[in-house]
Chains A and B, each alone.
Chain A
Amino acid sequence: MTDDTDHTDDVPPRTTVSVPETIEMPRLLDFYDLQDADHTRIHEFYDRLSDGSLSTTACQDCGERHFPPRIVCPECTSDDLEYVSLPHDGTLFAFAAVRGGGPVGMDTPFVTGVVDLNGVDIQLSARIDGTDYGDLAIGDPVTLQVVDIDGPTNQDRVFYRFTPRDDTA
């Protein structure tokens, strides 16, 4: 079925709309949350980390210690939580190489892993910096490193990573 009507002389008006070549990075494509009291109710975790202390919440009603920090205890639904300090040393439970396909803004390769904190029943997923994948083994000792996040907001943001600990010194 063909429409034989000739529309070739019927040239429609034509115009242009412009789409910007680049846009400012939307904040949610940046994996680091906004960390201050205006944006998150777990800002104390970040405040303490910025001061050099790894911490988390502990429930004042049932005693459960959580990670990541919460505002409601998942064990008993209490919201009476207090921040407690965590050890800064641990051992590598597992680790992985990221050789491509990292989040926007994260250059590869790097190592990421899971750390058993010493003396507490908490496992953290964390970047393992200052080493290569091939130089690591399960059980290696690691220690906390605080990382300052540069851009794209005006906030001073921080996060935690771990680095191999040289126990032979």
Chain B
Amino acid sequence: MTRNAAIVGGGHADWGKREATWKDLAQEAGKAAFDDVDGLGPDDVEGLFVGAVQPERFAFQSHVAPLAAELLGIDVTKMISRTELACASGQAALRYAWLAIASGQLDVALVLGIEKMNLGDDYMEETQAGMTNVLDREFDGVNGLNAPSFFSMFAQRHMHEHGTTREQLAKVSVKNKRHAANNPYAQFQREVGVDDVLDSYPVAPPLCLLDCSGITDGAAGLLLVSESKARELTDTVAYVTGSGQSCMASNSINNLPSMSAWPQATVAAEEAYDQAGIDDPVEELDVAEIHDCFSISEIIEYEDLGWVEKGEGGQFIEDGRSELDGDIAVNPRGGLLGCGHPLGATGVSQALEVYKQFTGEVESARQVPDSPETGLIHNLSGSGSVHSVMTLARDPQ
């Protein structure tokens, strides 16, 4: 890469079941981002990148990036794009903004992630069904799988093959919801215990309701700028140091390489680690925001991001190695389990959390100790057929 790019700030709309439209959420997140960065406003933005998954389905709106530009008064002079990569759309938007800056095309980008998902309590099934088409609708969607049911099969297979326990799954939810209890924009700001998880409704056994992320309205925005611009603005930034993605010629369930592992995560992580010069991720990463759409997902990710041997992910949570004071502080934001999962916004929010952990601006109860300097974000998307990994650091390479 020719140039470094860094996050210099950003902000969130409130997340949850919002009495607000897609356009309201876009404006709230855009304002929060600009309010957070002294010295940057809409007139400074040259590129706009918007992660959004199903505005056509949930808000009956397409061509959403220009709509966001209008709402936020941005005269785009260099590049404007909406990215759709299901649950990784926000990270994809950030990745394209990074590439645009790294290649010298522009110096200041606004990265937004926006999703309006709640259509009203009477239409929850329509929202759920709308997400079924991230698979192959002709040969998977037709079988009626929703997200909890799909991921329940990964839990079933992982427990079957590796002896992962129901309690270990619950401990992921307990940890992440404890962090979310101290996050003011999170959808679920209530701590739970292991028994609360186990006693919640068995939505798709072995997964219970509290093993699942929410249906969430939400948005996040961050400003990504070139290194020279960053040095003009602020002292503490989060540089993008590596980024990898993998899709193994599969999207349909009929062609997944595994239902208890994500080898795509390993490929994506190794690419990002290589770019960032990370040899030992457990030793070198201080904070990680990884895709806990369901409790089982985080356990599989410990393994396939290369932090423990295959099958030992359950032990990783049980031993406290992913706690704030553990080997890698995982999901101090509260994760998707605690914050909810407004599809297009999640990746942007995760990256912003890593930046805020570097600057020490998060609530003290969820601040990673000892001034974290390196971080990672990870998203899976669709049937887990794609994995996206980005590394961040306080210092450029």
Chain A interfacial positions (CB closer than 8 Å to B): 31-33, 67-68, 74, 93-104, 106, 110, 112-114, 122-127, 133, 138, 159
Question: Is A96's CB under 8 angstroms from B129's CB?
Answer: no
What's the minimum C-beta distance from B58 to chain A, rounded to whole angstroms? 14
**Contact A95 to B128, CB < 8 A, known contacts A31-B142, A133-B205, A138-B160:** no
Chain B, interface residues (CB within 8 Å), range: 35 or more
Contacts of A127 in B (CB 8 A): 143-144
Smallest CB–CB gap between B20 and chain A, Å? 23
Judged by a CB distance under 8 angstroms, whether B157 is at the interface is yes
Given contact pairs A32-B142, A67-B254, A94-B156, enumerate 15 new A-B contacts (beta carbons under 8 Å). A96-B145, A96-B153, A97-B205, A98-B145, A98-B146, A98-B204, A100-B146, A101-B125, A101-B128, A103-B129, A103-B141, A106-B144, A125-B139, A127-B143, A138-B160
How far apart are B280's CB and chain A's nearest CB, in angstroms? Answer: 34
Is A94 touching B157 in the complex (CB atoms < 8 A)?
yes
CB contacts (< 8 Å) of A68 on chain B: these are: 136, 138-139, 252, 254
Q: Bound complex: CA of A84 vs CA of B249, how far in Å?
A: 22
In the complex, A124→B136 CA distance in Å?
Answer: 12
Q: Which residue of A lies closest to B383 (CB)?
A: A125
Residues 140-166 (chain B) with a chain A CB within 8 angstroms: 140-146, 148-150, 152-153, 156-157, 160
Q: Which of chain B's residues have a CB closer than 8 A to the CB of A138?
A: 156, 160
Smallest CB-CB separation from B260: which chain A residue?
A94
Which residues of B are interface residues toward A (Cβ below 8 A)?
124-129, 132, 136-146, 148-150, 152-153, 156-157, 160, 202-205, 249, 252-255, 259
Give chain B nearest CB distance to A121 CB in angstroms. 11
Give every chain A residue within 8 A of B128 (Cβ-Cβ). 100-102
B205 closest partner in A (C-beta): A97
Contact A104 B156 (CB under 8 A): no
Give the distance in Å from the alpha carbon of A93 to the alpha carbon of B152 in the complex: 13
- A102 and B254 contacting across the interface, CB-CB below 8 Å: no
Give Cα A156–Cα B274 distance, bound, in whole angstroms.
54
Query: Which of A31, A99, A110, A124 is B254 in contact with, Cβ under 8 Å?
Result: A124
* CB <8 Å contact, A95 and B156: yes
Identity of the chain A residue whose Cβ is nearest the Cβ of B161 in the assembled complex: A138
B145–A125 touching, CB < 8 Å: yes
User: With A99-B204, A104-B125 in contact, do A94 and B153 touch (Cβ < 8 Å)?
Assistant: yes
The one of A32, A104, A112, A159 in contact with B145, judged by C-beta atoms closer than 8 angstroms, is A112
Establish whether residues B150 and A96, one from each chain, have CB atoms under 8 Å apart when the complex forms: yes
Q: In whole angstroms, how far apart are the Cα atoms of A94 and B124 in the complex?
A: 26
Q: Are A100 and B203 in contact (CB under 8 A)?
A: yes
A128 to chain B, nearest CB (A): 9
Q: Decide: A96 and B138 in contact? CB cutoff 8 A.
A: no
Interface centre among B129, B144, B253, by most chain A C-beta atoms within 10 angstroms, is B144
Q: Are B137 and A31 in contact (CB under 8 A)?
A: yes
Do B144 and A102 touch (CB < 8 A)? yes
Hey, which chain A residues are within 8 Å of B156, CB to CB? 94-96, 138
Q: Is the CB of B153 within 8 A of A95?
A: yes
Q: How far is the CB of B5 from chain A (nearest CB, A)?
A: 35
- Whether A112 touches B143, Cβ cut-off 8 Å, given contacts A97-B204, A103-B129, is yes
